[in-house]
Amino acid sequence: MTPLDVNLRHLIEQLDADLADADALTKVTEAQQRARSLSGIGDQLIDHFVQRAREGGTSWSQLGEALGVSKQAAQQRWVPGKSGNLFSRFTDRARHVVVLAEARARELRHGRVDTEHMLAGLVGEEEGIGAQAVFALAGSKEAVERALGPVLAPGTDNPPAHVPFTDLNKQVFKESLNVALEMGHNYIGTEHILLGLLRVPSGKAAQILEQAGVTYQAAHAELIKRIDAILTARRAEAKQAGGTGEGGANQAEGAGEGGAEQQGAGA
């Protein structure tokens, strides 16, 4: 097995380079924040492989044994609805959107991850169906980034390792889940995040998107068109392979990212 590519010397050198003129105590504080951030990424790594194992048929008893906890403890931590852990429903690309959003907030020294950071993360995940729909409706990625510029100016906060989400952003996550369920999907992909952002009109992201011509109705129609195209292509592939065109073909972005299978053929 290849050793983890996490090198203490590199982490030290990077912190020293980033804070070359800082005093010792400032570096201690920053080191603590970065350590917590690494821990958070580790949690996300576990979340990803737990979800993958479940999709492969691994039981909660087996997972609990592998994790060194009881079956009940594993379910409490990872079953959506029991723990309120929406993240376990996220596709790989949707999770990357969140990672990019938090990274942008930290980079800009903003104390909270708000909807504009989520939009920046969404367009940063260029292969996601959500970003592709935005680019198609707004004209280009650059057009959205220009509109984001004024609200993503550098701040002066000293954000913690896990930059907290604003209440508006938490509402975006809830709306993303609602949209997914309404569309008959049991995963949350980048398409649902886009529609979730647009369902929170008081957020800066929704305002920027609408000014760029990305309204809820237009985005929904564009996403349905793209999902239908994906399903059509996968049915054709399944038919050529001798399948029925159903089952594995009835998957949208979530399945393509290793996420949960879409419920039914409709999107």
Q: What is the pLDDT of residues 72-112, one digit of tens each?
A: 777 766 665 544 567 778 999 999 999 999 999 999 999 99
Percent of the chain surpassing pLDDT 70 = 81
Q: Does some domain include residue 207?
A: yes
Smallest Cα–Cα separation from 264: which of 251, 35, 254? Answer: 251
Q: By mean pLDDT, which of 78-87, 121-130, 241-250 is the weakest? A: 241-250
Take residue 176 and report the two structure tokens written for it: 């993303």
24 & 146 share domain:
no
Q: What is the pLDDT of residue 211?
A: 93
133: in domain: yes
The pLDDT of residue 84 is: 52
Least confident of 110-114, 120-124, 160-164, 230-234: 160-164
Q: Are residues 177 and 67 part of one domain?
A: no
Considering the domain architecture, whether residues 109 and 208 belong to the same structural domain is answered as yes
pLDDT value, residue 245: 44
Average pLDDT, the chain: 82
Q: Which residue has the higher pLDDT, 196 or 243?
A: 196
Residue-wise pLDDT tens digits, 183-217: 888 889 999 999 999 999 999 999 999 999 999 99
Q: What is the pLDDT of residue 130?
A: 97
pTM beyond 0.85: the answer is: no
SS3 content of the chain, % helix, strand, coil (to 5): 65, 0, 35
Residue 83 is predicted with a pLDDT of 44
Q: What is the mean pLDDT of residues 12-34?
A: 86
- Judge whether 252 lies within some domain: no
Do residues 119 and 207 both lie within one domain? yes
53 inside domain: yes
Q: Are residues 196 and 77 in the same domain?
A: no
CATH code at position 198:
1.10.1780.10
Do 159 and 204 lie in one domain? The reply is yes
Alpha-carbon gap, residue 176 to 133, rounded angstroms: 16
- Given this model, what pLDDT does residue 251 score? 45
Q: Report if residue 228 sits inside a domain.
A: no
What one-character DSSP code corresponds to residue 249? G
Domain that holds residue 73: 8-86
